[in-house]
Chain A
Amino acid sequence: MKKITRRSFLKTTAKAAAVTIAAPVVLPEGWYGFASPAKTGYFESEFGITDSLCHKVLAQALARGGDYADLFFEHTISNYIMLEDGKVNRAYSDVALGVGIRTVKGDQVGYGFTQEMTEESMLNAAGIAATIANANATKPSSEFRWIVTKSYYPTDYNLVTAPLESKLPLVQSANEKCFSLSPLVSKVNATFHDQQKRILVVTSDGAKAEDLQPRNYIGVSVVAEKDGKREQSGWNFGGRRGFADYTQAAVDTVAKKAVAGAIVLFDAVQPPAGEMPVVLGSGITGVLLHEAIGHGMEADFNRKKQSTFATMIGKKVAEPFVTIVDDGTVPNLTGSINFDDEATPSQKTVLVEKGILKGYLHDKISAKYYKVKPTGNGRRQSYQHYVIPRMRNTYMEAGPATPEDVIKTAKNGIYVEDVSNGEVKIGEGDFAFYVSAGRMIENGKLTKPIKDINIMGNGPKMLANITMMGNDFAFFTGGGGACGKDGQAAPCSFGQPSCLVKSLTVGGRR
């Protein structure tokens, strides 16, 4: 019930992680993964949502003089199947259907939503949204043009409607693989989740866009036992994918990572407490980038002057080898979108270019405030929520150094392999992230494993303290990741190469 004001990165599995990609994703020019965008007309054929109805509802939303209004129709089907104690013995599914209606006046937002796709209900919700303004009525566009974009995920997605029998072997084989890998494995939980989110956005300035956003993942959690001790680890793989991506090899990799992750922890030690050099391994450690830098770049925090980055546009914030982007166009990644929830086409947005802060992540409200074009970051959890600027896939580009040289240069410190969650305080820039697995670095070499420690830092300071960048870029390719902001969860991803941060606070016990 309480409004969540902290930013936090959440994962939906007990201890999810990612399958790392061995090399940077370099796409041939013009390749976008999938040939055609989603077919349009679903909401008209299924629920009778016509242009004339949309016009009528938008007119109601602007009846008291709003500057802009939009309608967000959603029909989402989500399925989960779960294996526990060797059996796929439970399944959950959810159907979400509704429309959210937003009226914007300056930077003020009125919002109403309804779960009934009837004209009466929609007009009532639009009337609530309209109350944010108090002037003479304004008029919406009388015609709507389809926004057609390239597609970054399968839009003929049918995994949700595929027979359950076709999905059961995924979790069954993950379970068998885990037990076959080590006699120390004593418990395995495996989950397969798939979701089909259909959306239609219609705006008072005459745009309409329809999409089918798939989301899916397989996640495995393992408990191992040795000499009376227990350790737990997990791994997952997913994104906005088709069923063909869930190969036996992909499932085996998830199982191997989960089992290896648990077994190594039997030898883990507690690192010393205090400031020390930290090497962030490639891939999933990008959660630090997401927390320490990404949230501070969301334009609403800057428009309201809450962010520590609010006065840094055009300034040097990092060494010249640091370039950070937020990109909604990476095929199959969890944070990819064809267009955002305001019908703005997705794009690659540069935040920091060669060490200079270039720009923020915008929705339409902040873009108008800053007099720039929206960047396609206006997102929302569902029809029950209004749009705010959100990250998509945020990553730091590769540098020149080998990972071995990065570790060698750190000399003594901590190497972070896997993290489970993080959080940031926007105004101060202070952040934390939880290291679920890593290694000590002693005399320039990786030594004893470490686990279960929090690492603290400050975003701007950390950016300035990145002294070395590896050439081993990898994306986080888990599908269970979601970012929390203002009580809304949004799927996102991230990535980075190995990098050396000169100094962070490690929360050890000695």
Chain B
Amino acid sequence: MNKEMQELTAWTIKTAKSAGANDCKVGINSQRDVEISYREQKPETIKEATTKQLMIQIFVDGRYSSQTTSDLRKDALKDFIGNAVKMTKLLAEDPFRTLPDPKYYEGRKEMDLGSVDPTYKKFTPEERHNIVKTIESTILEKGGDKVVTTTASSQDGHSESVTMTSNGFLGYTEDTFFVAGAEMTVQDEGDRRPNGYEYCVALNRKDMPSPVKIGESCVKRTLSLLGAKKIKTETLPIIIENRGVGRVFGGFLQAMTGRSIQQKQSFLADKKGKKVGSEHFTIVDDPFVKTGLGSRLFDNDGFAAKKRVMIDKGVLKDFYVDWYYSRKLEWEPTTGGPSNLIVPPGKRSVEEIMKELGRGVLITGFIGGNSNPTTGDASVGIIGQLFEGGKPVQAISEMNISDNHLKLWNKLVEVANDPYPYSSLRFPSMVFEDIVVSGL
């Protein structure tokens, strides 16, 4: 625990209560970030800074407000808090807005989530430069004369946060993170210059792929975009690559929150315990994954984290209901949002599945699109490959898929064996049948 941050947190609570707050929650975050990018074999950008922010939620006379500031001088904070309390008193009473019942703070697991890389402090500027230089040189070497330009970059950071409430919650988190990757532009026919990228993120350096692998992956992904064109509109099986599944699932997830349900903006509001997808649709929320990007011991309300099955073989088992909306809905709270989402992997690789399907579309990226949480209607542009005989035969562009989530997830016929490691959404590639792929 960072003592200085803890003391400032406690001082802020005391100051707020002296100013008239009945209750409050205070969080202080400190983060150091370093970013480097290279283009044309020299540094393009170097950026480094430390940021601090204080957040305070104020509960006074049944009223509520939330404030953040980066001005942590005590004199300035005192004025800031005093004004915040005064302002809060002007709002309407809201009987549902209170600090959580402390019973939900209890039962917090004591375990090391592996979120701090013990070698972080030894990470030198030279090592950072070498990582980026290696990614760039790999791209230039493997991409050959197709390369128009490439920018390789690295970002890393260390953050600490302390959260405290006036009704007994105290939480501390410390994380490190590492990001490395590149974007790359290649020359296609005419004025087309396909742009591809590869970025990986991990909390520990040892979980990152090598710079050479990142560079090679960037080249492979970008070159696969060459010669892309629109094909005719057709109903086909599609495979959504592991890293892209989360973007489609995001529209479903939005409708799983207590707020969406209470505000009548959820197509899932009456679906708990009901079938919302095929038997292959299983999602587990697991906050205890070692080095997981979404791992945590407590959530935003301070609730002790729990592993939960959210969707089991197509049946919706649970919602994300935070303390406030649980009171409005008169439901038992769960947790306000996802930690790590795990889909149990299947047995076959994407290549094996493509071989069996014969003809279809492998979706490797998306463009635009959105999802309506109230109705479940969704539509998104796609980038990828038409495959025939199990092999990619044509890159595709300017194409689109549309469906309603309640129909789409019932068309899920298989999940592959390749959960994506560089995200809190550890989804494998997924196979859907009978999807209208719009083009010509």
Residues of A whose CB lies within 8 Å of any CB of B are 1-3, 5, 8, 14, 81, 84-85, 87-98, 107-115, 125, 128-129, 131-132, 164-165, 168, 186-187, 189, 223, 225, 230-232, 270, 273-275, 291, 304-312, 384, 386, 420-434, 436, 451-458, 460, 505-510
CB neighbours (8 Å) of A507 from chain B are: 379-381, 400-402, 438
User: Are A3 and B46 in contact, CB atoms less than 8 angstroms apart?
Assistant: no
User: Are B378 and A452 in contact, CB atoms less than 8 angstroms apart?
Assistant: yes
User: Are A2 and B179 in contact, CB atoms less than 8 angstroms apart?
Assistant: yes
User: Are B185 and A427 in contact, CB atoms less than 8 angstroms apart?
Assistant: yes
A85 to B324, CA, bound (A): 13
CB neighbours (8 Å) of A129 from chain B are: 46
Q: Which of B368-382 contact A (CB under 8 A)?
A: 368-370, 372-375, 377-381
CB neighbours (8 Å) of A426 from chain B are: 193, 195
CB neighbours (8 Å) of B43 from chain A are: 108, 132
A508 to B379, CA, bound (A): 8
User: Are A460 and B191 in contact, CB atoms less than 8 angstroms apart?
Assistant: yes
The residue that B195 contacts in the complex, of A232, A428, A460, A510, with Cβ under 8 A, is: A428
User: Are B90 and A96 in contact, CB atoms less than 8 angstroms apart?
Assistant: no
Residue of A nearest to B259 (CB): A84
User: Are A273 and B42 in contact, CB atoms less than 8 angstroms apart?
Assistant: no
User: Are B438 and A231 in contact, CB atoms less than 8 angstroms apart?
Assistant: no
User: Are B91 and A89 in contact, CB atoms less than 8 angstroms apart?
Assistant: yes
Q: Identify which of A96, A107, A304 gathers the most chain B CB atoms within 10 Å of its CB.
A: A304
Stretch in B5-13, B66-74, B411-419 with 4+ CB within 8 Å of A = B66-74
Against A, the Cβ 8 Å flags (1 = close, 0 = not) of B48-68 are 111110000000000111111
User: Are B185 and A306 in contact, CB atoms less than 8 angstroms apart?
Assistant: yes
Residue of A nearest to B125 (CB): A131
B172 beta carbon closer than 8 Å to chain A = no
User: Are B438 and A110 in contact, CB atoms less than 8 angstroms apart?
Assistant: no
Top 10 nearest A-B pairs (CB, nearest first) are: A432-B368, A507-B400, A427-B193, A427-B195, A432-B381, A273-B438, A89-B94, A452-B377, A87-B92, A454-B379
User: Are A89 and B92 in contact, CB atoms less than 8 angstroms apart?
Assistant: yes
B392 beta carbon closer than 8 Å to chain A = no
Q: Main SS of the interface on chain A?
A: strand
The residue that B179 contacts in the complex, of A1, A14, A306, with Cβ under 8 A, is: A1
CB neighbours (8 Å) of B233 from chain A are: 273-274
With A89-B93, A92-B67 as contacts: A454 and B49 at CB distance below 8 Å = no
A88 to B64, CA, bound (A): 10
B1 beta carbon closer than 8 Å to chain A = no
With both chains docked as a complex, state the minimum distance between the C-beta of A465 and any C-beta of chain B, in angstroms.
12
B360 beta carbon closer than 8 Å to chain A = no
User: Are B402 and A187 in contact, CB atoms less than 8 angstroms apart?
Assistant: no
B253 beta carbon closer than 8 Å to chain A = no
CB neighbours (8 Å) of A107 from chain B are: 44
A217 to B155, CA, bound (A): 35
CB neighbours (8 Å) of A112 from chain B are: 47-49
Residues of B whose CB lies within 8 Å of any CB of A are 35, 39, 42-52, 63-72, 80, 84, 87-88, 90-94, 97, 148-149, 151, 153, 155, 157, 177, 179, 181, 183, 185, 188, 191-195, 197, 199, 201, 225, 228, 230, 232-233, 263-265, 328, 367-370, 372-375, 377-381, 383, 397-403, 436, 438-440
A35 to B263, CA, bound (A): 45
A508 to B148, CA, bound (A): 35
User: Are B397 and A428 in contact, CB atoms less than 8 angstroms apart?
Assistant: yes
User: Are B398 and A458 in contact, CB atoms less than 8 angstroms apart?
Assistant: yes
A214 to B6, CA, bound (A): 35
CB neighbours (8 Å) of A91 from chain B are: 65-66, 87-88, 91
25 contacts between A and B (CB under 8 A): A1-B179, A1-B201, A89-B92, A93-B67, A95-B69, A108-B43, A111-B46, A115-B70, A132-B46, A223-B264, A225-B264, A273-B233, A274-B232, A274-B439, A308-B191, A310-B193, A423-B381, A427-B185, A428-B397, A432-B380, A452-B370, A458-B398, A505-B438, A506-B438, A507-B438
CB neighbours (8 Å) of A508 from chain B are: 402, 436, 438
Q: Identify which of B84, B225, B436 gathers the most chain A CB atoms within 10 Å of its CB.
A: B436
A506 to B439, CA, bound (A): 8
User: Are B225 and A428 in contact, CB atoms less than 8 angstroms apart?
Assistant: yes
User: Are A108 and B45 in contact, CB atoms less than 8 angstroms apart?
Assistant: yes
User: Are A312 and B191 in contact, CB atoms less than 8 angstroms apart?
Assistant: yes
User: Are B375 and A452 in contact, CB atoms less than 8 angstroms apart?
Assistant: yes
Q: Identify which of B155, B372, B401 gathers the most chain A CB atoms within 10 Å of its CB.
A: B372
User: Are A95 and B70 in contact, CB atoms less than 8 angstroms apart?
Assistant: yes
